[in-house]
Amino acid sequence: MPALYDVAIPAFIRGLKNLSNMLEKGSAFAAEQGMPLSDLLDARLIDDMAPLTRQVQMVTDTAKFVAVRVGQVENQPWADDEVSYADVQGRVAKAIAFLEAASPDGFEGREDAKVVLTTPSGDIPFTGNSYVHGFAIPNFFFHLSMAYALLRMKGVPVGKLDFLGAIR
């Protein structure tokens, strides 16, 4: 089985870079349309779902916490205070830099490490392996997909290859 670093961190970095590119297309589209960027940042698929800004916070947090909880990287608390498009892009860039600094060595032998996810409804215990494969990767791609869908819903011309990035 591939090391947890190898299955998660490169995919997260790629996904975040693709998100940054999609956000950039969103900014250009908004400028062309005379649309306030807040129309994109505040976009929701339905009232009880989080807006684009929160989707970006969740996708970056999910990636960061794999490095923290499994890769033994020291946590850097990030306030969820992004209000502008530049703030959101900065959050994505900060997450990419955080992941790029994570060492694969910190993930070695962590497949059975105890990982506890604390939620408002209680703690959820995982192993490093079950956390990465059963929670973090699906959660990362859920929020990345929601960000993509919100941009598409607002008319931003992004497609599947923008989501996937350059295929090599």
pLDDT tens, residue by residue, 137-147 = 999 999 999 99
- DSSP lists the bridge partners of residue 116 as 125
User: What is the arithmetic mean of pLDDT over 22-40?
Assistant: 98
Task: Band the pLDDT of 151: cuts 50, 70, 90.
Answer: very high
**Chain centre to alpha carbon of residue 76:** 16
Say whether domain 4-107+115-164 belongs to CATH 1.20.120.450.
yes
Q: What distance in Å separates the CA atoms of residue 157 and residue 150, rounded to the nearest whole number?
A: 11
Return the domain boundaries, the chain.
4-107+115-164
At 122, phi and psi to the nearest 5?
130, 170
Residue with tokens 């062309």: 32
pTM value is: 0.95
Whole-Å CA distances, 100 to 9, 12, 16, 153:
8, 10, 11, 31
Helix axis angle, 52-69 to 4-33, nearest 10°: 160
pLDDT tens, residue by residue, 60-95 = 999 999 999 999 999 999 999 999 999 999 999 999
Query: Nearest Cα to 163, choosing from 42, 15, 5?
Result: 15
